[in-house]
A and B are shown apart, each in its own frame.
Chain A
Amino acid sequence: MYNYNNIKKYVENTTLFEYGSKGCCGIDLKNHSFLKNISNKEVENAIGQNLYDLSDNSLHFPELSEFQVVRHFTSISQGNFCIDTNTYPLGSCTMKYNPRINEWVSNQHHFSMLHPYTNIKNIQFSLSIIFDLQNYLKEISGFKSISLQPSTGAHSELTGLAVINKAIRSRNEYRKKIIIPNTAHGTNPATAKMLNLDVINITSGKDGFICSKDVLKHMNKDVVGIMITNPNTLGIFESEIKKISDIVHKHGGYVYGDGANLNSLMGFVKPGKIGFDVLHFNLHKTFSTPHGGGGPGGGAIATIEELEKFLPLPVISKNNAKYCISKRSTSIGYIKSFFPNFSVILRAWTYIRSIGKKNLKNITNIAVLNSNYIRSKIKHAYHIPYKNASLHEIVISDKKQKIYANITALDIAKRLMDYKIHPPTIYFPLNVPGAIMIEPTETESQKDLDYLCHALISIAKESINTPYIVKTAPHNTNISRPNEVYAIKNPVLKWS
């Protein structure tokens, strides 16, 4: 008679708009008594007559108490895997632990209340943090110039390519193409398109490297340069980088570095010293600022000195012991409103200062060690498409499982959820069919890595012995394989 399952189903996925009661409100409302003396006529004179009545019954807007809001958002949060609760080896995303001291710093009241239009004398300390971080990142990457203005990686790419475009135009040249390898992140070609650059795709060779000969073949006076991720998305270091950059430079082009994988180079290689002209950083990857379910992140672009004059505004610098904000006429201009992502900068600053010069290289060491540890443990269970040593991430594929039992990368990913592990990145990079891209980061303990390998090896065995279990996974999550095709055909994008 009492069907627990029906009730449970209802409770688990209930939206904000389905409970609460009319007139309920989660904040304390008090009116200043003498504001009551202001008449409706005066209100009408001030704002006009086009009033919007939120209390309209057909309008979906919450009506909950404070406690109901707390319970709602706490309980739905439990439908997330996150770094704090699960191994989260999402390749190319560097899901490392987010130290909580960073949160303490960024939540300080005197930072969180700062208005962007504040007398510059009163924000000297805040500017000093931005300025310091600029210097640390320059030193880590080996570049002379930097801007922290971009919001994210993709925004950095747009800014960086715009800088390159502007530099080329300043020589009175117009170039309309850019070389992008097939291993690149999707944001690379999408960014190029926004800037009206046509993409010349080159494919990496059998060993996973870009071949400098391919670059030579395509590089000419119509090409602004190349976008390279190094190590590439296979986790392999592009060892021909110097040759490639020489070719690009010889033809008057520039080399853009996608810094998503910087976590494998810190302390070992300075991209600014090996032929890159522009490099972007993802503060939310390498520098431990939280991903927050998809942002806000923090971007930044470092460049060679020659490109500094084109960097976005405002310029934050130090002059006679004072921090200043300035403009320059040669810049590409303003790419967002106000200052760079300040709360993210505070966290990244704190991270770098907590790590310090003696430990920086260890981050890279352990990140690379962890990924190779996984590689060596699972190499018999899975097909590894590229034999070259990889750095901080490893790409395997579903080839073996597909042949035995038609088990795909997606099935393996879904089954990992039953082991309480967040799936790695799948079907990327595109040059590996059925790719599974694993980036453990330096913060996973050996025990966690062992468990991850155990899970992967078990799934490989299950693929032979009990393939239906893998094929229909996940079994231990609240929901399983939501119907994406249905969503595309009948998108329901709001509660109604």
Chain B
Amino acid sequence: MHALFKTIPADIRIKKEVDIPFALDEISIKHFFQKNIDNHYRVQFVGCGMFKHFVPEVVTQIIGRGEWLTAYTPYQAEVSQGTLQSIFEFQTIVSNMYGCEIANASLYDGATATIEAILMTIRMTNKKCVIIPTNIHPEYLDVCKAYAKMCNFKILTVPFDIDSGNVDTHAIENLLKNGNISSLLYQYPNFLGGLEDQQKLNTLAHTYGALSICINPEPLVFGSLKPPGLYNADIVVGEGIGLCPFTGLGSPGLGLFATKKKFLRFIPGRLVSMTKDQNNKRSFVLTLSTREQHIRRDRATSNICTNNALNALAFLITVSLYGKKGYAHVSKQNILKNIYFRKLIKGSHNVRLKYKNKFFNESVLEFENRSKLIHFIASMNEKGINIGLDLYNFFAKLDRHLLICITELNSIDDINEIIKDINHYV
């Protein structure tokens, strides 16, 4: 055996055994994970860019098949037709959902998809400055700030209008007027659940020669509302994890990326095309790989290699099960439940709705003071309910405000229960 390792100089080899624990057998591992369990919430009312939705059992069963689970990146087309076809179908679904002409095979998560979009607009325009309103997901903004330093671009942040929760279009227009902007970003629905005026924002960006990037943390909104592509958004990125079975701690995510066909050669990540084989049979292949790192090396459009294919597959299967009818239906059910919730909130004396503009799935509740909010969150935690996000974590001005999310997974009983609790605990 030692002869095999002779190229490793003796003074480099370790002398001691690596000090990790002794082995556990399968029974012990199962016992360990049955015995140790985190405090599990009975009900959750948090969204915040990780909107858990109904995922049928079929999805978990299918993605557990070895053919999906234990294959690698489909570089060899003849023996990867399954993965390639699923990516082709995924690209179709994502581009149609976002009203765009094309979509890629997925990226890591919504935040890094946002980065890839920014870097793409910088490559296209040769301008190194982007405009970002502060009502996008605060973690996405943090990621943008970190990458701006790493990859050397500039971010102009625009505070959102604290009274409406929406972007401040005048401030944005003033920045755009100064020129030299590669892209304008906006989130739809924004972090506070509000729906921005897409028509206006895209037109604004284009008027001043900038590209527009829409961030969508919640794809289900497009079961009801017109998608960004139809408002001429140049790039749409999103987070698809909510329609995948595993959402543990929000990661790994599923970065969605769609854009216009004319930008094809600037796109980061993998693309699958339908083609014909040598016997004229329909087949699927990775294409335009000359954009990618394994061919183009330091001239690639991105360094991305492994992406999140299995999550993309899960997303595709979930949406396939929903279908046209189910997707619209579940989307509508989210809206109806939120309307039901807001109606009841109006009757409460303890809290009020901070924003009454157009919204999807999330509401900001204003409490009388901060201590009441803290007390309420703690009481609900005791009851096994994750009631929402204390917005003070991200916005100093929203110190007595709770961001609460209602989806199809929350039953009418759940909603009635928290309304009762608001009246009781606050």
| B residues less than 8 Å from A479 (CB atoms) | 77-78, 81, 277, 279, 281, 283
- Residues of chain B from 215 to 243 with CB closer than 8 A to chain A in the complex: 222-227, 230, 239
B305 CB to nearest chain A CB (Å): 5
Q: Indicate if the CB atoms of A353 and B21 lie closer than 8 Å.
A: yes
A193-B321 contact in complex given A165-B150, A492-B274, C-beta closer than 8 Å: no
Are A77 and B248 CB-contacts (below 8 A) given A51-B225, A82-B70, A186-B294?
Answer: no
Q: Which residue of A lies closest to B78 (CB)?
A: A477
Chain B residue at minimal CB-CB distance from A476:
B78
Q: Distance (Å) between the CB of B10 and the closest chain A CB? A: 11
- Residue ID in chain B nearest A340 by CB atoms: B251
Contacts known (A93-B72, A194-B151, A295-B307); A60 close to B92, Cβ less than 8 A: yes
Interface residue B171 (Cβ < 8 Å from any Cβ of A): no
Q: Tell me whether B319 and A356 are in contact (CB under 8 A).
A: no
B306:A295 contact, CB within 8 angstroms:
yes
Q: When A139-B20, A269-B8, A292-B68 are in contact, do A487 and B273 touch as well, CB less than 8 Å?
A: yes
Complex Cα distance A328/B297, Å?
33
| Interface flag for B339 (CB, 8 Å) | yes
The answer to whether B23 and A115 have CB atoms under 8 Å apart is: no
Report Cα–Cα, A80/B246, bound state, in Å: 23
Do the beta carbons of B17 and A357 come within 8 Å of each other? yes
Is residue B13 within 8 Å, beta carbon to beta carbon, of the partner chain?
A: yes
The 0/1 profile, CB within 8 Å of A marked 1, for residues 314-352 of chain B is 000101111111111110110111111010000000000
CA distance A322 to B253 in the complex (A): 27
On whether the beta carbons of B248 and A111 are closer than 8 Å, the reply is yes
Whether B379 sits at the interface, judged by CB under 8 Å, is no
Q: Is residue B276 contacting chain A, with contact meaning CB distance below 8 A?
A: yes
Mark out the residues of chain A between 329 and 351 whose CB falls within 8 Å of any chain B CB in the assembled complex: 332-344, 346, 350
Stretch at the interface among B101-109, B178-186, B204-212, B364-372: B101-109
Are B306 and A153 in contact (CB-based, < 8 A)? Answer: yes
Most chain A beta carbons < 10 A, residue from B67, B108, B245, B249: B249
Interface residues of B in 79-104 (CB under 8 A from A): 79-86, 88-89, 91-93, 95-97, 99, 101-103
B264 at the A/B interface (Cβ < 8 Å)?
A: yes
CA distance A51 to B285 in the complex (A): 35
Among B68, B108, B152, B249, contact of A116 (Cβ-Cβ < 8 Å)? B249
Closest to A10 in B: B282
Within the complex, which residue of A38, A47, A84 is in contact with B67, where a contact is CB–CB below 8 Å? A84
Please report which residues of chain A, range 100-150, place their CB below 8 angstroms from some CB of chain B when the two chains form the complex.
Answer: 101, 103-108, 110-119, 121-126, 136, 139-140, 142
A-B contacts at CB below 8 angstroms, number: 617
- Cβ contacts under 8 Å, A270 to chain B: 14, 18
Report the separation of the CA atoms of residues A61 and B3 in the bound assembly, to the nearest whole angstrom.
59
Contact status of A493 and B102, CB under 8 A, knowing A122-B38, A194-B119: yes
A54 touches B324 (CB 8 A): yes
A230 to chain B, nearest CB (A): 10
Closest Cβ of chain B: how far from A269's Cβ, in Å?
Answer: 6
Give A495 to B311 CA distance when docked, in angstroms. 21
A194 to B337, CA, bound (A): 45
- Picked from B14, B142, B274, B306, the residue with its CB within 8 Å of the CB of A273 is B14
Q: Tell whether A332 pairs with B20 under 8 Å between CB atoms, given A46-B335, A152-B305, A292-B68.
A: no
The answer to whether A64 touches B323, judged by C-beta atoms less than 8 angstroms apart, is yes
Instruction: Determine whether the beta carbon of A361 is less than 8 Å from that of B26.
Output: no
Q: Is the CB of B322 within 8 A of A25?
A: yes
Residues of B within 8 A of A84 (CB): 66-67, 69-70
Whether B68 contacts A80 by the Cβ 8 Å rule is: yes
Q: Which residues of B contact A274 (CB under 8 A)?
A: 12
Which residues on B sit within 8 Å (CB–CB) of A27? 54, 56, 321-323, 326, 330
Q: Are A242 and B12 in contact (CB under 8 A)?
A: yes
Are A69 and B321 CB-contacts (below 8 A) given A108-B33, A268-B8, A336-B111? yes
With both beta carbons as reference points, the residue of chain B lying nearest to A102 in the complex is identified as B29
Contact at A413–B92, with CB atoms within 8 Å? no
Q: How far is the CA of A20 from the CA of B175 in the complex (A)?
A: 50
Contacts of A46 in B (CB 8 A): 335, 338-339, 342, 358-359
Expressed in whole angstroms, the Cα–Cα distance for A342 and B23 within the complex equals 22
- Contact check, A151 vs B112: say whether CB atoms are below 8 A apart: yes
Interface string of B274-315 (1 = CB under 8 A from A): 111111011111011000111111111011111111110100
CB of A441 to closest CB in B, whole Å = 12
Chain B 102-141 interface 0/1 with A at a Cβ cutoff of 8 Å (1 = within): 1101101111100000010000000000000000010110
Q: Which of A90, A101, A472 has a CB less than 8 Å from the CB of B26?
A: A101
Contact B324 A63 (CB under 8 A): yes
CB–CB A495/B339 < 8 A: no
Q: Are B149 and A332 in contact (CB under 8 A)?
A: yes
Distance A360 CA – B22 CA, assembled complex (angstroms)? 10
**Is there contact, CB below 8 Å, between A54 and B327?**
yes
List A contacts of B24 (CB < 8 A).
353-354, 356
* Closest partner residue, chain B, to A332 (CB atom): B146
Give Cα distance in the complex from A383 to B140, angstroms: 51
Q: Which residue of B lies closest to A312 (CB)?
A: B146
Tell me the complex Cα distance, A414–B370, Å: 67
Looking at B12, B49, B313, B381, which has the most chain A CB atoms within 10 Å of its CB?
B12
Measured CB to CB, the closest approach of chain B to A436, in angstroms, equals: 13
Closest to A418 in B: B78
In the complex, the answer to whether A140 meets B20 with C-beta atoms within 8 Å is yes
Q: Are B223 and A52 in contact (CB under 8 A)?
A: yes
- Give Cα A16–Cα B87 distance, bound, in whole angstroms: 12
With contact pairs A139-B18, A296-B308 given, residues A334 and B146 touching in the complex (Cβ less than 8 Å): yes
Select the stretch in B39-47, B156-164, B417-425 that faces chain A: B39-47
Is A29 within 8 A of B329, CB to CB? yes
Known: A31-B333, A118-B41, A480-B279. A389 touches B78 (CB 8 A): no
Q: In the complex, which residues of chain A have a beta carbon less than 8 angstroms from the beta carbon of B340?
A: 34-35, 38
Enumerate chain B residues within 8 angstroms of A440, measured Cβ to Cβ.
none
A320 part of interface (Cβ distance < 8 Å): no
- CA A104 to CA B9, docked complex, whole Å: 41
The 3 tightest CB contacts between A and B, nearest first, are A356-B23, A333-B146, A84-B66
Can you sample 17 A-B contacts with CB below 8 Å? A13-B281, A54-B328, A59-B96, A62-B320, A79-B82, A84-B66, A86-B79, A113-B40, A115-B44, A190-B300, A194-B119, A239-B8, A292-B63, A344-B252, A491-B273, A493-B95, A494-B88
